[in-house]
Structures are given as structure tokens and as C-alpha cells.
Structure 1
Amino acid sequence: MFKIQTMVPYNMSAEFFLFYTNVPNDTRATALEILQIAFDQSKFTTKLIIPIERDVFYLYNFNLYPKEKKYCAAHPMLTLINTCYHGVFTKRVYRNNYDFSRLNCTIPVIMMEIPPFVITPNDGLEVLILKEFERRLNVTFEKSMNSMSGSWGMKQPNGTWSGLLEQIYIDPFNIGVGAVSLKEDRLIDFDYTTDYFSESMLFVVPTADRVEEWKLIMIIFSWSTWLVLFILFVVISVLIWIASNVEELVTADDRNLTTFGSAMLLSLQVAIAFAVDKQPRALANRMLFITYALFIIIVSCLYQSALIDILTNPQYQHQIKTYEEVVDASIPLGGSSEYREIFNESDKVLYDKYVILSGENAVYQVAKGAFITISGEFYVKFISGTPEVTHQDGTSKIYVIYDDVVYIDTFRIVFSKNYVLKKQFDDIIDGLLTAGFIAKWTQYYTNQYRPADWKPMDYEKSTSNDVVLTMRHFEGSFALLLFGLVCGLITFGLELILYKFNKEKRRYLIQRRWKKILVARRVFNRRFLH
């Protein structure tokens, strides 16, 4: 029984030599047993030096790709590659005797249906990469397709793996494709190619519902603006009513405004830009009337222009656009179980409200308005033109929050630790990245389902003209109204002061006249009656 110490060489392409000191009875059987142990530990480049006689040694290794075998490196064949006589090899030893460009074998591949990475066994971004492997390495992939309802799996407490990774863990000659992410707990038992694609993982939320038609007239102003306008209407009515009941200031024509109902009717006629039947004559009422009318003219112009825009463009309710709104939303967050662990330490609120959706397309559930989910930008763009996420009028059913990136994910091809073709796969992927082929394929799948007149999904841009008018938009008109009210109050005060002055003046003149009359009467009585 032989044992080789478990180790992971730094350079997986380096030659790994073993020296067996004893002369065995059965050289081939001993060599086969030792090399099989090395092979099981993924030391594929192992060479064994074993003595035949005192000064004669054989050099054995495994031929990983014999032509009569099907799977690459699955059934290695013991091969005598060199002989050493008196310390000298008959042939060159320090070279890799594997021609990776002429493998002529089959590689079993576990595929997860994750569009657009793997759409079908013959279509998808990663499928194109596999085709390059086939062409350059002369290999054939035996594909095993799995639906999106599956999972790559997680490590179990007993050290094994669940999901599709279990198949790679059990059979180290399998490889896995389908948007496989690099995760720390997987690095112990699995290896990856260099990353060929990275993307932002974003929140995908339902688009806001359209506002009902009967509400369109009301949404032009915010509720606070409507409230201020109503309070202002009542205040103006009260001021006109008060001014009309000050007997000293009212002319005969203003007697019809002495009731509060008539004053409110006058204010209402001005508020709806309707012609009034009688104009006020008193200076204070005139000042209030003119100021309020100018203010209403400005408000009416703003209202009418906004009304035209609202009636000709679709209007929506409030759209969820930020991370904070996702947290506060009544819509549950759902998706893959892998995404739930993201919030385990960062956000307990989202972690607790997260719903695991198994066997369902999470983005399609978002399009139905049932969930908020996390998805990659590439996938969202890929399905952006499909009927499942698009209304009949061409508008999208989903909204992507680009400003709050959840995290950046990278995707690779996964296989067992120390996989023999890792270096060859990495070299091909690096070449495809450098030449721009992967970027070109990415653009192809991004535009695959989009109609010719498709425009980028930009909810913010499409609704930027649909602005609800608030108090900020009326600062100028309110300033004018305030100026008019101040002038009206000043005029009202001056009129009262002037009236009091004139009243006292008339009273003084009358008293003085009466005094003169009384004096004249006394003089007359004294002269003519006595």
C-alpha cells in the first residue's frame, strides 16, 4: 500500500517526479498503483522513476488522452516513456509530452439554463466559449442541460455538496457552465477559469402603475398646494366680507358683499377665472380683488400648461428608485437563495423579508408586480424586449435601480480542483477577451430580442417632463400676492385713518358752525326781542 502526501503544486503544468527505491517483483503493477494514487490527487503530470536493476531505471507516466478512450483524462493508460542506463536517459525527459491541440476526446459538461449565458445546449454566451474550446483543443463536449429551477448548490455540514456542484465534486472530470460565481467556500473543493465576464447586480422593481384617468386633473398640483390654494380662497373671502361690513368704507355698490356667501362667490368667480357680475368699488376691496385676480391668472396659466402635458403624456404613480425605498416597500423581496445570504450581515430587514423563489423566474414575477428581486444587468437587458416584461404599448414592466449597485459579480467556468485543462481554458479565454470576441457576443445577446425601434429603458427620462407642481413653482406668484395683500392692508388702514380724520374734521366744522349760529341767535334775541 502506497501513500503520497497531499499537496498542491504552485505550477500545475510543472513535471512532478516520484522515485521508488526498491526493485519490485511486478514493475508495471507497482507503477500503475503509484501513478493511480497521484492521478487521484490531480497530479496529472506525475512521472515515476522505478528501478529494474541496480543501474537500470524505467520512467513511467499516464497517457491522459489515449485515442481509444472517450473522456479526456478519465481513463489514463500506463506508458513507459523512457529508460535510464547508468544515470543517463535515452530520450529527453524535461518536456510536456501532451499535445493539447490534438486531444480528440470528450469532456462532460454540466449546464445550467441561465440566459443569456446558457439559453439552450447550442446557444448562449458560454456556449460560444465552449465552441472555441472544441475548435482549438479538438475536444467534444457531452452536454447535460439543467433548468433554471436547479441550483449550483451549497456545501453541506458533512463536507459534501448539494445541487449541480455535487456532480462535479463526485466526478472530477465534469465541468460546469451557467453563470457560475466565484464564492469563497467553493475554492476549497473547486477551481475556476479566469473570469470572462463581470456585471453589476441590481435591484429590479415593478414599474409604477399609471394614474387613473379621473385623478389626472388633481395630480397637477400636490396636495399641499391644493390645501394652500383653498386656505387662500377662504382668507380672501373673509377679508372681502370684513371690508364690506365696515360701514364707513362701503359705497352703495358694495352693499351686495356684506354677506359672507356673496364674498365667497366673488372669490370663487375670480379663482376659476370667471367674469364677475359686479366689481367692488371700495378701494380696499379693489386692492384685494386685483391682487387675487393677478395671482389666479398666473396659477391658471401654470395649471393649463401642465394639464395639456398630463393629458398628452402617460402619468405614473410614485416609482421605487432607491435602496431605502426598496427597504420600505410593501412589495416583498424575492429570488435565489444565494442572493439572500448577501443581506445576512449587511441588512437584516431585507434578509428577513426575503422570499426564496424556487422554480420561478424572479424577473417575470417582478413584471407581474408581485416581487422585487436582484438580477444582473446583462440578463435584464437581454429580456428587455420580450413580451413577458413589456406592455403592449412597448413600455417596460420592470424598472432597474442603476444608482444603487448591490454588488459586482464575476462569472467563470467551474471544475474540480487542479483540473488538467485549466491552463488551456484560461489561455483561450484570455485570447477571446483580448480580441474583443466576448464583448461582441455580449452585445449580440443584449440586442437579440429588441425590436428595431427599441430605446434604452430609462424611466427617469421618459417621465422627466411630468412634474407635479408644488409650492416652489409658485414662489413668484405668491410674492406678488403677498405684495398686493400688504398694499391692500396699508390702503385699508389709510382709508380708516383718513375717514376718522375727515369725520372728526366734519364734526369740528359742524360744532363750530352751530356755535356761530347760537351766538348769532343770542345777538338777534338780545337786539330785537328785548
Structure 2
Amino acid sequence: MDFSAKDLDNHTIEHFMSDDSTSELGLLAAKVAYYNFEWRFFTVVMFNTVQAIGLNTFLRHYQKSVTVKLGRFLPEKRHSVTQMVIFGEDSSDLSSTLRWTVRSKYDSNGKFIIICAFFNQDCDEQKIFQTLQSLFILNVVLLKTSLKTNRSLAYSYDIVSNEKCKNNVPYRLNLFTACENDNCFKDLFPEKLSNFQKCRLVISTVEQPPFMYLYNGTRSPSGIDGDIMKLAANMLNATLVLVTPSDGLDAGHYINNNWTGSLGDVYNGLRHVSACSSPLSSNKYGNFQISFPYYSMDIVWATRQPTQKASWEKLLNPLNFYIRIILFMLFVSIVFMNTICTFKIWRQVRRAFEIEPPKYSFLFFSWVLFLGLPILREPERKSFLITVYTWIWFCFVIRSAYQAALINSLKKPAYLGNLESFQDVLSNRYPYGGVASLKEYYTDDRVIYDNWVIVDQAHFYETLDSILAGTTDFVLASNKEAIKHHLMRYKGTKQLQIIPEKIVNSPTVVYYKKYSPVTIPLNNVLRTALEAGFIQRIHDKYLDHDRKLFRREYSKRPEPLTMKHFTGSFVLLMLGWFVSATYFAVEYICGNLKD
């Protein structure tokens, strides 16, 4: 019989505990809880009748934090409950209560002590364990009193056995109050799935190089996630079964109050685990249990390379911005000094210091030295000679360094500035998007969220190839390693730009249904594999050759020099010819210059 929260006002706690103080069932339950529950957590003690046998004794001997709960009701403020004691009348009442706890989102991975006790009522333990197995409640101790012998009996079960992968047959526990040092009450909740006994571990996944290669079922799956899952299954002595999503979609996203794809398989109880290398988000965290984070992934924006610069701009590539300014100011100062030489004040200075007038203009003489042309005469004064030699040395260094860098600059394509942040994408009004699950990261930014273009997994590589070909301005959100691995197919002949501003650096996890029984054992083996270095080695196996390829200088064939590489040089040469012809024409018309 059920009671609501209001019924508590009609009874006192002494009424609830009106049973014999020497009840053996309550004492056994208290000892099991004392040695197996964590004292830092509170324990929920739930019963549906005021005549529950053993409740008084349990509360008297288990003097830790408890919450006594009469009937099936949910409080306004709920906390995570990892240990529970349930008093019930018979097997039907207990089975109904267990189903209610699972429907009410209590942690079915927690520790349960079930006391089947009521006056003159028998308890069918087989029926209770059938319910426990169907609800995947593994950590349980059942206490009951035999009507025939009036002895207290204790049971538990293993959901996986040598004979069956779905076992519900209980076995007896040898519990009695007088056992030496209470040893019989210790370690009653071992890990039940540390050995799968070759039973199936079904994992939903998707084809996603380099994380998962399925080979259309023609050979054993591989890849980073594939090898890690095979290692985990081997450590658990399980038979690994990797399957694609039942709806044929990708990793999955939340839509119409349900999940699609690989995550949908887990959410709807069709598979044990989802290993799809999907980045963690708040929505996933709230709807799934996640594994121990065993690596991390970068989610980035990728787009085509920027527009190439004009050929003449390559002439300036060897010089950075500050050197360009310095050289420009240097030649401006030479022009300025040459202009001063024509002023009257300079002639007065020349007479005062007895300086002979130069035969050539100061500007022309400086330019001749800069080009490395030979000079017929040099200054007689030592101070002027040092100045000329210093200028020759300076011009030689600048000219040699510039020429050395110019050939390489002319051969390589030069691009306009890269996109530095996603704000540049918005400013240029480029289209952007990616798989639907990544859209969740921008739920607080409605402008980005509303304009997101969903690219499903079937069209992902088609979109990426369009970006590599430079035929689209689309900005694609994706896993960085997946992009790099796809670039390997072209061996350096195609390139794209990755915006430095990341979307997120997400931990790499696998996803379970809430309170899945495989959570703890699989987390344990993933933690062990990470600490032993196996996971790092698997990542290096599939990603290290990607890095080596991008470091190879000869991954791209040498490109021969053509006319387009020298367009800027020829334009500058023709400009020089035009200036020379103009100067010659002026000289011819106005008369020859005197030496």
C-alpha cells in the first residue's frame, strides 16, 4: 500500500519502528550497510507499510546519515542516491517498488539492500531477481525470512555467468550475526561485469577516419576508437560487436524529444555504448552518462585558402612591414639631402668647409652604389670615403639578403591575410555550418545558431573537397584530426586554412545510457589503458604519420618557374626603361649635361 507525503503527519517515527528490537533481518541489513555503504553519502530507507519488520533494528544499529521515506513520492529537492534500503511486504510489492525507482531516475548502479519482511508472508526470491535482471540492477543483497525454518536468508546474483549472458538465478550468501570479526559482511558488492564471460559488448559507432574504419564489414574494424574498444573488450573478456546506427544516420543529435544516430541507439536502449568521437556538450552531458575522458579533440573552423596576391606584390614579400618603412624613409632622406644640395645655403656651407661640388647628383650617385655598379672616382676626404664604403657595405648586405629570399618568394604563391577569428567570418558574411551536434555550442548566440547550415555526415567530405578546390566560401566546423587525415589523400597538393580560434577543446569520451551497468567496468579499463600508455600509443599510431607528412618538404612536387612568377619583375624593369627613355629624351632636347 502506498502513502503520500501528507500521510506522514498522521504517524510518528516510533510508530514506524514498532517491531521487535531483536529482529535479525534488521540487524543483518544494518551490518551489510555498515561495511559496504559509503558513510559520506546519505542512505535512503524506503518502506511502504508501517508494519515493516526490521526497520526499528536497522535504524538503531546503522547510525549513519539516512533519509526515511514512506511511500512512493518524489521530494521537491532531489539529490543523487547511490545507496538504498528497501523494506517490502512480498515479492510483488518489492518488484513494483524496484520498477518505480528506475522510472523515477534513481541510480540503478547504486547499492541496494532489499528486506522482504512482513508478518506471515512468504517471499519469492526468484521473482525479485527476475525483476532485478530486467532492470539491470546488479549490486543487490536480498534478505528474507524462511517461513519453514524461521531463519534469515541472504541472496545475491551475477547477471553474467558461464552458462548465460542474462542470468537471474540467485545464490545464497552465508550471513549470520556471529561470524568472526564480521568478515562475512564485507565486500558483498564486487564489480559484477569485470568479466563478461565472452558475452557481447554491443557498441554503436559511425565510419569516421581516422577514428573508425569499418571496411563495410569485410574485415575487423580499426582506427583510434576501433582499437581502443577492441582493447577494452579484451580486458573485459567480452565479445566486441561494432554496429552502425539503426537509423543509418551519423553520431546523432537531439530532435523531437529524442536522439538520433549512434547516440539515439544508446538513449533508446538498443546498444550498450556509443563510440562516435562526438564532442561533449551540455545537452549530451545531461542526457547520457559519460566515460572516463581518455583523450581530447579540437573542434575548429576550416575554410578555403585566401585569395592570392598579385604577382608584383611578391617583390615585397621578403621584406616585412618595418623593413619596408625603414628603407622607404632611408630613400626619402637621400632625396631630401639631394634637394638640399641645390639650395643656396648648401653652397655657403660648401665654401666654408672647402668642399668641391659633386660631378653627379647625390641621388644618382647613391643609386649607382645601391645597384652595385662600379664607380670611377671616390672621395678624397677620409670622412666622406668612410661614408661611401659604409653605404656600399649596407647596400651589399640588403641586396644580397633580398635576392636570396626573392627567388623562394617568387616560386611560392602569396595570399592575402588569413581569417584570424570567427568574427572575421561573420564580418565577411561567409556561409558556415557543420553537423547538427556542433550547433549546440552556439545556443546562447542566436545569430550564429539561426544561420547555421547543417552538413550531415553523408555530405561532409563532399563539402570539404569543395573547400580544398577553392570553389566555395563555406566555413566548415569539424574535428581537426578528421580534416588533417582527409588532407593526407592529396599528399600536400591541396591546402586549406584553419582559423586559429577553436570552437572547443572537448574531452574524448564514450556515451552510455543513464545508469548503464557497463559504465563502471568500461571506465575502469579505459582509466587503466590510459595510465599504462596504451591509448597514447594508439593515437600516435594513427596520427603520427599525419604529422610527418605535413612536415615533409618534398610532399609537394617542385613547381617550375614560369612567366607569372616574374610578372612583377618585368613590370619594374619596363618602368625603369620608361624612366630612362624619358630622361634621355629630356637630355637630348634640353642639351647635353656637362661633366
- Of the three residues 298, 304, 308, the one matched with 2:404 is 308
Deviation at 1:197, TM superposition (A): 1.0
Q: Is residue 2:159 matched to residue 1:64?
A: yes
Alignment of 1:202-213 (within 5 A): 202-208=300-306, 211=309, 213=311
The reply to whether residue 125 of structure 1 matches residue 224 of structure 2 is: yes
CA distance in 1, matches of 2:519, 2:489: 40
Aligned with residue 510 of structure 2, among 413, 431, 434: 413
Opposite residue 387 of structure 1, the aligned amino acid is R
Q: Partner of 1:342: helix, strand, or coil?
A: helix
Change (3 A) 1:87 1:407: same
Correspondence 1:45 to 2:139: yes
Aligned twin of 1:171: 269
Partner of 1:6: 101
Query: Offset at 1:123?
Result: 0.6
- Taking structure 1 as the reference length, what is the TM-score of the superposition? 0.61
**Paired position in structure 1 for 2:289:** 191
1:234-249 equivalences under 5 Å are none
1:427 matched residue in structure 2:
524
Report Cα offsets for 1:216-253 as digits up to 9, x if no partner: 33555669789879977987887778879x9xx9xxxx
Distance 2:399 2:447 in 1: 42
**Alpha-carbon RMSD:** 5.4
TM-score, normalisation: structure 2: 0.55
Query: Higher Cα Rg: structure 1 or 2?
Result: 1
- 2:72 — aligned with what? none
Distance in 2 between residues matched to 1:324 and 1:208, nearest whole Å:
15
| Runs of 5+ unmatched residues, structure 1 | 278-286, 458-530
Once the two structures are TM-superposed, the CA of residue 177 in structure 1 deviates from its matched residue by 0.6
Which of the numbers 74, 82, 87 marks the counterpart of 2:172?
82
C-alpha displacement at 1:194, in angstroms?
1.0
CA distance in 2, matches of 1:86, 1:107: 37
- Where 2:261 maps in the other structure, the secondary structure is coil
Superposition pairs of residues 12-31 of structure 1, within 5 angstroms = 12=109, 14-19=111-116, 21=118, 31=126
Residue matched to 2:210: 116
- CA shift, 1:202, in A, is 4.0
3-state secondary structure, aligned to 1:445: helix
Contact persistence 2:309–2:416 (CA under 8 A): no
Q: Return the alpha-carbon distance in structure 1 between the equivalents of residues 106 and 443 of structure 2.
A: 36
Q: Shift of residue 53 of structure 1?
A: 2.6
- Asked whether the 8 Å contact 2:297–2:506 carries over to 1, the reply is yes
SS for the counterpart of 2:275 is strand
CA contact (8 A) 2:158 2:170 kept: no
Q: Which runs of 5+ in 2 are unaligned?
A: 1-91, 215-219, 351-356, 377-383, 555-595
Alignment partners' CA distance in 1, 2:115 and 2:209: 46
Residues 420-478 of structure 1 show CA distances to partners (whole Å, capped at 9, x for unaligned) of: 22221122111111111111111111124566794499xxxxxxxxxxxxxxxxxxxxx
2:416 is aligned to 318
Q: 1:443 aligns with which of 527, 540, 555?
A: 540
> What secondary structure is seen at the aligned counterpart in 2 of 1:417?
coil
Q: Provide the rounded CA distance (Å) in 2 between the counterparts of 1:175 and 1:88.
A: 44
* 1:142 maps to 2:241: yes
State the alpha-carbon separation in 1 of the partners of residues 363 and 529 from structure 2. 78
Aligned to 1:489: none
| 1:312 counterpart letter in structure 2 | N
* Equivalent residue, structure 2, for 1:391: 492
SS in 1 for 2:244: strand
Amino acid at match of 1:109: I
Counterpart position of 2:570: none
How far apart are residue 293 of structure 1 and its match? 13
Q: Distance in 1 between matches of 2:452 and 2:396?
A: 48
Distance in 2 (CA, whole Å) between partners of 1:337 and 1:225 is 51
Equivalent position amino acid for 1:445 in 2: Y
How far the C-alpha of 1:341 sits from its partner, in A, is 3.2
